[in-house]
Amino acid sequence: MDIRITATNVLLKPITKERINKKFTNLSSKMSDAKSAVIDVREEGTKSIDDRFLVKCELDLGIKKVRTEERGRTVLAAIDKSMDVLTAQVKKVTAKKISRQHASQAVRNVTPLTELPPTKAQIKAKAKTIMPAVLTDSEALQESDKNSLPFFLFIDKNTKSLKIVDEVNKEIYIVKIPKN
């Protein structure tokens, strides 16, 4: 991998350049696609001493370029922050690449269906008969509390109408069945 380091308003010592090269070489060893890295180190006159050094990195992975811009108290601190961000981005890109490869491979390995699965219209509905309990409103509220269900269906003792207890809102609704 080709690594280019530029410095603006700051003098980089050879040992610092060596450490930067080592960090990027380690990162590129984890990827076969890495083509080049451009690192721009700057010292800026900021009010905060913690943000004095700015490091801009661009890593060319062939399929995509990942970039980061991080600040730090020292050059190496900013480089470390950049490396953390770049490592996360590289993992994300390689994971997407791997999942795409698996997906395309899976599509190639699909055997054609001789018979299509049934449509929703072809599937017959299974009808179940339920018998709601005959209770008063207060009894129904107590039962719904016991069961801790989001709703409870019952027939009112007095009016003989079908009702639902809404457990979330603690309200009782009358169910009206349309006549066909």
Phi–psi pair at 46, nearest 5 degrees: -110, 160
Nearest to residue 157, comparing CAs of 180, 178, 179, 132? 132
The answer to whether the beta carbons of residues 75 and 53 sit under 8 Å apart is yes
Q: What is the pLDDT of residue 70?
A: 92
Q: What is the pLDDT of residue 105?
A: 60
Measure the CA–CA gap between 82 and 75, rounded to whole angstroms. Answer: 11
Query: So what's the architecture of 133-174 in CATH?
Result: 2-Layer Sandwich (3.30)
Q: What is the pLDDT of residue 112?
A: 55
Domain boundaries, the chain: 2-98, 133-174
Averaged over successive runs of 10 residues, the pLDDT of the chain (180 residues) comes to 88 90 83 83 83 90 86 90 88 75 58 60 65 86 77 86 83 81
Q: Which residues of 123-161 are buried (b: 16+ CB within 10 A; e: fewer)?
A: eeeeeeeeeeeebeeeebbeebeeeeeeebbbbbeeeee
Most distant CA atoms of the chain, gap in Å: 92
Burial class (CB in 10 A: 0-12, 13-18, 19+), 24: buried
Angle between helices 75-108 and 14-29 (to 10 degrees): 20
Q: What is the pLDDT of residue 115?
A: 58
In this structure, which CATH number among 3.30.420.40, 3.40.50.970, 2.60.40.10, 3.30.160.100 belongs to the domain 2-98? 3.30.160.100
Q: What is the pLDDT of residue 63?
A: 78
